[in-house]
Structure 1
Amino acid sequence: MKQTILSTKQSELLENLIVKYSQIVTFDQIFNEAKDNWDYKQAKNLITKLVKNGWLIRIKKGLYAISDLSTRGSLSLAPYTVANLLVADSYVSFESALQQYGMFDQLTDKTISVSLKEYKPVILHSIEYSFIKTKPDYYFGWQEIIIDNHTTRIATPEKALIDIVNFHKSQYAVDLVIEKLLEHQKDLNFGLLNEYLGKFSLATVKVFGLIFDIIGINSEKLYEIVKMKHGTHLMIAGDTKFNAKWRLYYNPYFDKYQSK
C-alpha cells in the first residue's frame, strides 16, 4: 500500500478527530471537523485519499477507523470490536467468544457473530466477519465488555457452547463442546448453562443431556425438561445409534468419551 506524508491540515484534522472521537469516526464527524478547510466534495475526496494511503480504514459505509502512526494501513482494533461496529445488533459467539475467555487457543481468521437480521460476510484486513441470523427468542446470553474503548457484546462462555451446537450441528461442533466442557468444567456456570438450555429446542436440550451423561455431568435439570416428551430427534443428520433415555439418535463415535 502506498504511504504518503500528511499535510499540516490533514494531520491536524486526524489529531482533532482522535481527541474528540477516539479511533472510530463517522463520515459526518469527519466532515464537521473538516468543513472549515474543505467543502463537501473536497472532504469526500480527502477521505478517499486518506483511505487509499492507509490513514483511514473503512469499516463499513460511513464508518472509519483512524490508523495509529505505527500501524498505518492496518487495523489495530480487536475483531470483537469490528464485528460490533459492522452490525450493532449482534454479539460475538462460537469459537471467537471462547477465545476471549481463554477457552480456545487456535488462531482463526474468522469472527462469527449472532444477529437478528441476515447480513453478508465481510472480509476486512484478512479477517472474515460473518453473522448468523437467529430468532429473537435465542438472542440472549451475551455481556458487554469494554475493548478498544468501545462497548462490545460477547457471548458468555455458556451461551457460546450452546450456539456452537445449536447452529452448527456437526461432529466437529459436538466434539469441540465436549472438549471444552471437560477442560473447563470448573470454570463454567452450569446453573446458567441449564437455564439457557431451557429456552432452546428439545433437540438441543437432548444433545446436551446426552453429552452430560457421557462425560459424567449431572443432567437431572435437563431431563426434567424432556422426560414427558415422546418425540425422537437426531444429534446430527444420519446418526443411527439410539439413546432411549433422551430419545436421541447419535453417533457412537462420542461413546469414546465415557471412559474419561
Structure 2
Amino acid sequence: MYVKLLDFIRTLETYEKPVFTVNEVSKVIDADKKYARIYLNRLKAKGVVEAVERNKYVLAGTHPYVAATNLVFPSYMSFLTALYYYGATTQIPGIIYIASTRSKKSLTLKGYSLEFIKLKKERFFGYTRERFQGKFVFVAEKEKLIVDSLFLPRYCPVDEIYSAMGDEKLNIDTLVEYGLRMDSVVTIKRLGYLLEKKGIDVYERLKLRLNKKYDLLNPLLPKKGEKNIKWRLIINEVFSDAE
C-alpha cells in the first residue's frame, strides 16, 4: 500500500489539472467509484488529500489559488486577488475572487472564501496561465484586472486600482482596448478619468463611447461630489495625488 500510495501521488502530481474527481481517481487506481470514494476518504484521514467540494479533491498542500482557478473551466483570478498576486497591493485579501462564465456557489478553503463572479462570454478574456508553486493558476493580465475592477468595483477598491494604474509596465493600448471590449460605458468613463489623473490622455479614443448620463466614480460611496463634465462622472472619491 505504501508503494501504491507513492505511485498514486506521483501520478496525480503529473496531472496539469490539480483538482481531481472520484471518477479520475477510480481510473488511476483501476477500481470502481465506490472503492475510489473509500480510498479517498482514507487518504483524507491521513492528510494526503483535501476535499475542495463534493467529489473534488486536491493533494494536501495545494495552494488555494491553484485549487480556486481549477474548479471551474474557464475561470481566472481577478479583482483584488489578482492585484495581490502581482504584488500591487498591501491588502491581504481573505477572499479569492474568480471570474468565470458560469455561476457557482461560494466555497471555503483553508480559511479563504472562494467567490465566483459570473461574466458574459464577451467580457471573458485577457487572462493567462502561469506556474505557481509547481502547479498552474489562471490569472487576469494586469490590464484586465483593472478593467474588471472598474466594471465591478465592489470586488476591488477604486483607490487600489488607481494606485495600480501608476505601474510603468502597464500597456496603455491594451488597457484601452480591454476597456472598450467590456462594452460598458461606465467602465470607459472610470478608466478614462483615472488615466487622465495619471497624466495619460485617451479621451479621443473613448469619447464616442460616452453618454450624457452622470455616473458615480465609486458606486459604493455616497452620491456626493463634483461633476466632471468631460467624463460625465460624479467624483465622489478623491485620491491623494489627484489634482
By how many angstroms is 1:61 displaced? Answer: 2.9
Aligned twin of 2:208: 225
User: What is the aligned-residue RMSD (CA, Å)?
Assistant: 2.5
Q: Using a 3 Å threshold, how does the CA distance of structure 1 residues 104 and 240 change in structure 2: closer, same or farther?
A: closer
Superposed, which structure 2 residues align to 1:3-18 within 5 Å? Answer: 9=1, 11-18=2-9
Residue of 26, 40, 50 corresponding to 2:21: 26
Q: Is the 1:142–1:155 contact (alpha carbons within 8 Å) kept by the matching residues of 2?
A: yes
Structure 1 gaps, min length 5: 1-8, 68-75
Aligned twin of 1:207: 190
By how many angstroms is 1:255 displaced? Answer: 5.9
CA–CA distance in structure 1, aligned partners of residues 214 and 38 of structure 2: 61
Residue of 45, 48, 53 corresponding to 1:55: 48
Superposed, which structure 2 residues align to 1:72-221 within 5 Å? Answer: 76-169=61-154, 173-182=157-166, 184=167, 186-200=168-182, 201-221=184-204
1:44 aligns with 2:28: no
Q: Is the 1:51–1:58 contact (alpha carbons within 8 Å) kept by the matching residues of 2?
A: yes
Give the share of equivalent positions with the same residue, in percent: 24
The one-letter code of the counterpart of 1:19 is R
Where relative contact order (Cα < 8 A, 6+ residues apart) is larger, the structure is: 2
Q: Output one character per residue of 1:208-244: Cα deviation in whole Å (capped at 9) or x when no partner.
A: 21212233222334443346x3333232342442111
Q: Is the 1:169–1:235 contact (alpha carbons within 8 Å) kept by the matching residues of 2?
A: no
Q: Output one character per residue of 1:102-161: Cα deviation in whole Å (capped at 9) or x when no partner.
A: 212433322101111211111011121111111112111111213345443210011111
CA–CA distance in structure 2, aligned partners of residues 80 and 213 of structure 1: 33
By how many angstroms is 1:174 displaced? Answer: 1.5
Q: Is the 1:92–1:153 contact (alpha carbons within 8 Å) kept by the matching residues of 2?
A: yes
CA–CA distance in structure 2, aligned partners of residues 191 and 111 of structure 1: 28
Structure 2 gaps, min length 5: none
The one-letter code of the counterpart of 2:177 is E
TM-score normalised by L of structure 1: 0.79
Higher Rg of the two aligned structures: 1
The one-letter code of the counterpart of 1:144 is R
Aligned twin of 2:242: 258
Aligned twin of 2:216: 234
Residue range with higher mean Cα deviation, 101-110 or 202-211:
101-110
The one-letter code of the counterpart of 1:219 is V
Residue range with higher mean Cα deviation, 11-20 or 114-123:
11-20
By how many angstroms is 1:80 displaced? Answer: 2.4
The one-letter code of the counterpart of 2:147 is I
